[in-house]
């Protein structure tokens, strides 16, 4: 296998995985795959700012802002000012938001666990893929003269 075939096959896999998660979300009447990823991110119990979520999941800021406003209107999230940052807020799931996210994601978590248990060396695999993505990001961000 050469590098062109490797990246071609890797690209197909990435989009197939994305399509699987998108289909899963549609089965639960999730209007946007980005909504699924925002809930997925917030449901880990850690603090997240909108900027961090956008950077981690490559979601456009305007898209995330719209989704976050909708979640806030439904009472699923609350926003708290980050100390020392005038315009940045942490986003937290409310109790009803946790219930909504857990209900939405529970079957997905079960399937992910089944798949994870079949990966021979998950930490090494993830580390290798992460390094690959970082190298590709540098190339993607370089400006042509």
**Domains of the chain, first to last:** 3-141 (1.10.10.10)
What is the model's pLDDT at position 145? 52
Cα–Cα dist 88/49, whole Å: 7
Q: pTM of the entire structure? A: 0.82
CB proximity list for 97: less than 8 A, separation 6 or greater? 42, 71, 75, 76, 77
What is the model's pLDDT at position 100? 95
Per-residue pLDDT of the chain (145 residues; tens, 9 = 90+): 888 998 888 889 989 999 999 999 999 888 888 999 999 999 998 989 999 999 999 999 999 999 999 999 999 999 998 888 778 889 999 999 999 999 999 999 999 999 899 888 888 888 888 888 888 877 777 765 5
The number of angstroms, rounded, from the C-alpha of 70 to the middle of its chain's C-alpha atoms is 18
Contact status, residue 75 vs residue 96, Cβ threshold 8 Å: yes
Instruction: Name the packing angle between helices 50-57 and 33-42 (round to 10°).
Output: 120
What is the model's pLDDT at position 135? 81
- Alpha-carbon distances of 40 from 17, 105, 136, 143, rounded to whole Å: 15, 7, 25, 33
């Amino acid at each position: 296998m050469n590098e062109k075939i490797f990246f071609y096959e890797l690209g197909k896999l990435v989009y197939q995985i994305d399509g699987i998660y998108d289909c899963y979300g549609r089965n639960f009447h999730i209007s946007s795959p980005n909504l699924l990823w925002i809930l997925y991110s917030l449901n880990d119990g850690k603090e997240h700012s909108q900027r961090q979520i956008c950077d981690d999941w490559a979601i456009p800021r305007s898209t995330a802002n719209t989704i976050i406003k909708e979640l806030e209107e439904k009472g699923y999230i609350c926003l708290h000012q980050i100390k020392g940052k005038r315009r940045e807020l942490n986003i937290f799931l409310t109790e009803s938001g946790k219930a909504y996210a857990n209900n939405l994601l529970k079957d997905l978590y079960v399937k992910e666990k089944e798949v994870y248990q079949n990966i021979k060396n998950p930490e090494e695999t993830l580390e290798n893929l992460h390094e690959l993505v970082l190298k590709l990001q540098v190339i993607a961000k370089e400006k042509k003269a």
